[in-house]
Amino acid sequence: MSTPQAQSPAAQELRVRQAEASDLGQVIAIDAEVTGLEKTDYWYELFHRYGGGRTRQRLFLVAEYGDAIQGFIIGEIRDWEFGSAPCGWVYGLSVRNSARLAGVGARMLDAICDGFRHAGVHKVRTLLGRDNSLVLSFFRSQGMMAAPFIPLEKDLD
Amino acid sequence: MKLQKSTSLALFSILEFAANPGRQLSAAEIAEKYGASTHHLAKVLRELGRAGLVESARGVGGGYRFSGNARRLTLMDVIELFEDISTRTGESDEFDDSSEVGRALGAVMTEVDEIAKATFRSITVDTMLKLIERQRRALADAGNPPAT
């Protein structure tokens, strides 16, 4: 798997674009760097469903600086879940450790929000573990507030 | 979850100082604005000073100014200087867990507290300043004068 050396991205030279199949090696590496798990099959399946700009409803974007992918963001538009009007959902965002604190996440979030607006929705949501303070703080810093939903779960015996 | 008076004053103070990084504010100014006694606020500011979040300047025009990192300092960081809510649970605070009903009600209160703690941990001073600014703009757009 190729892993080009990351450099600190200058905001003006960072490009956010749709993910391509050739980006997957770096996306998988960034995800593995952050989560400690290399989920190759998962990412190829996800790219099949979300990549390549096949639909305005699903977005898989990467942030590129030079020849290195610095981060990725994934989201989709969900319609009328439990009566909620169509809105954008961000359910994946990660930035290479060496590229953090350079505005990469903010640029990707702006880009995916532009995509959602272009598709006609005016609200974006996400869902995170409440112990994930780092990413929660990022979304808070971008102006996101608590949504009118409560996540629920139960153990299945 | 209810915060103690000192904790609230600390949050007010930190946000006032961080919103005016180049300006020194006196304890009396903040005390007056938030309806607190100067004596009480001075104790709060001493604690914030010990934690390195504010620094004082002596002499004419002396006062305090923010010396923390607004992009790193969370509301929880400030709260924990004054009270320990990280281990607080609804069971111990509100309901006697010697009964089945008390235990069940305590479990619900624990849920509420856990969400509150996660919220405090996720919001930095910088994020709060942005929120204050957004609210100020929204009020202005609605034709209401901003509160000082």
CB atoms B130 and A141 under 8 Å: yes
pLDDT at A120: 94
Whether the CB-CB separation of A91 and A83 falls below 8 Å is answered with no
Instruction: Say whether residue A154 is in contact with chain B using an 8 A CB cutoff.
Output: no
Q: Which of A131, A141, A146 sits opposite B127 (nearest CB)?
A: A141
User: Radius of gyration (Cα) for chain B, nearest Å?
Assistant: 18
Interface test with B, best of A101, A131, A137 (most B CBs within 10 A): A137
From chain B, the residues in CB contact with A136 under 8 A are: 118, 121-122
B142 is a domain residue = no
| pLDDT digits 0-9 by tens, B36-58 | 999 999 999 999 999 999 998 77
From chain A, the residues in CB contact with B123 under 8 A are: 137, 140
CATH assignment of the domain containing B15: 1.10.10.10
Calpha distance B134→B125 (Å, rounded): 14
Q: Which of B114, B121, B126 sits opposite A141 (nearest CB)?
A: B126
Give me the domain span that covers residue B34. Answer: 5-134
Q: What is the DSSP letter of B143?
A: T
Domain count, chain B: 1
From chain B, the residues in CB contact with A130 under 8 A are: 114-115, 118
Domain borders along chain A are 14-141
The order of strands in the sheet holding A68-78 is A15-18, A58-65, A68-78, A87-95, A124-126
B146 is a domain residue = no
Burial of A6 (0-12, 13-18, 19+ CB in 10 A): buried
B68 is a domain residue = yes
Q: For residue B84, what are the contacts with CB-CB under 8 A and spacing of at least 6?
A: none
Burial of A71 (0-12, 13-18, 19+ CB in 10 A): buried
Other beta carbons less than 10 A from residue B26's beta carbon: 16
B121 is a domain residue = yes
Q: Is the ipTM of this complex over 0.95?
A: no
Superfamily (CATH H level) for A14-141: Gcn5-related N-acetyltransferase (GNAT) (3.40.630.30)
Instruction: Say whether residue A127 is in contact with chain B using an 8 A CB cutoff.
Output: no
Residue A2 reports pLDDT greater than 60: no
Contact pairs from chain A to chain B, CB under 8 Å: 30
Residue A1 reports pLDDT greater than 50: no
Question: Residue B95's pLDDT band (boundaries 50, 70, 90)?
Answer: confident
From chain A, the residues in CB contact with B131 under 8 A are: 143
Q: Where are the beta strands (DSSP E) in chain B?
A: 54-57, 63-66
- CA A44 to chain B, closest CA, distance in angstroms equals 32
A64-68, A84-88, B61-65: least confident range = B61-65
Calpha distance A125→A109 (Å, rounded): 11
| pLDDT digits 0-9 by tens, B112-141 | 889 999 999 999 999 999 999 999 999 998
Burial of A83 (0-12, 13-18, 19+ CB in 10 A): exposed
Residue B28 Cα distances to B19, B57, B60, angstroms: 17, 14, 14
pLDDT at A107: 96
Model pTM score: 0.84
CA–chain centroid gap for A81, Å, is 21
CB atoms B124 and A146 under 8 Å: no
From chain A, the residues in CB contact with B115 under 8 A are: 130
